[in-house]
Amino acid sequence: MSLGISGNRMIGADRVNPVLNEERRRAILEILNRDGRVLVADLARQFHTSQVTIRKDLDILHGHGRIHRTNGGALPARESVLEDPTLREKEKLHHRDKLHIAAAAARMVKEGQVVILDSGTTTTAIARALRKFENLTIITNAVNIAAELSGSSLEVILTGGTLRKNSFSLVGPIAEETLRRLNADILFLGVDGFDVHSGLSTPNLLEAKVNHAMMDVAGVVMVVCDSSKFGRRSLSSIAPLSAVHHVITDRGIRKPDLSVLKKAGIQVTLV
């Protein structure tokens, strides 16, 4: 049976052709794992079926705990607050959104500034976008970011500290003390959890303390994260919402979260 038939007949096909339904739902999961989010309208076009059928697919997957249903689409199933995926695992998620966020972040930087880059895949993308500058000082606790910038004309200050192998980041008292001796114009901070009521969070306590020290010495705190981070809470709190000046995220952010950010006086850039 062709997938390109009318919505009403497609609903009937849910009962008479369960194999095609399962194949479509597996394909939806693959797209979600690849892109980090899916939209009902996009899936309906891609599978040549009705939005009603796609919504039913997403509701079923949500009911089985395979995805997290959102208004107009879905996100990956929510992780445990203890989950701490590796940098390589994170690189596979929301890749396109991270590139757009990185480009927007680079446009906010001026020659001669001092910029702090937290560890993470989004900030790594920002580091690559900053290579085009000629006169910047980059402070980072991420070994991989320092390596990314090693062949550029930029000055790079690595904080030192104890290496976290999951994130290639340096943490602990040495990293915190180094940061307290410095000042920066802008901090680009990646987070694992961004709850608009409880604030920013990350799975690792030592990472959270370094992040907090970064925020203390930066003139402007910019949180850079894709929309899947909103509504999540990780184990260790970094800072409340009041400590954030600017957020760069993608257009998948939920309207209630966006409204809270704006009411709090936080500038938001959507990419």
Per-residue pLDDT tens for 151-173?
A: 899 999 999 999 998 788 999 99
What pLDDT sits at residue 166?
Answer: 79
What pLDDT sits at residue 34?
Answer: 78
Question: For the chain, which residues make up each domain, given as ranges?
Answer: 7-76, 87-270
What pLDDT sits at residue 81?
Answer: 42
Task: Please determine whether the domains at 7-76 and 87-270 fall in the same fold group of CATH.
Answer: no
User: Which residue pairs from 140-148 have beta carbons closer than 8 angstroms and sit at least 24 positions apart in sequence?
Assistant: 140/116, 141/169, 141/170, 141/171, 141/175, 141/179, 141/210, 141/214, 142/117, 142/118, 142/167, 142/168, 142/169, 142/170, 143/168, 143/169, 143/170, 144/87, 144/119, 144/168, 145/117, 145/119, 148/124
Residues of the chain with pLDDT under 70: 1-19, 78-94
CATH topology of domain 87-270: Rossmann fold (3.40.50)
Domain at 7-76: CATH code:
1.10.10.10
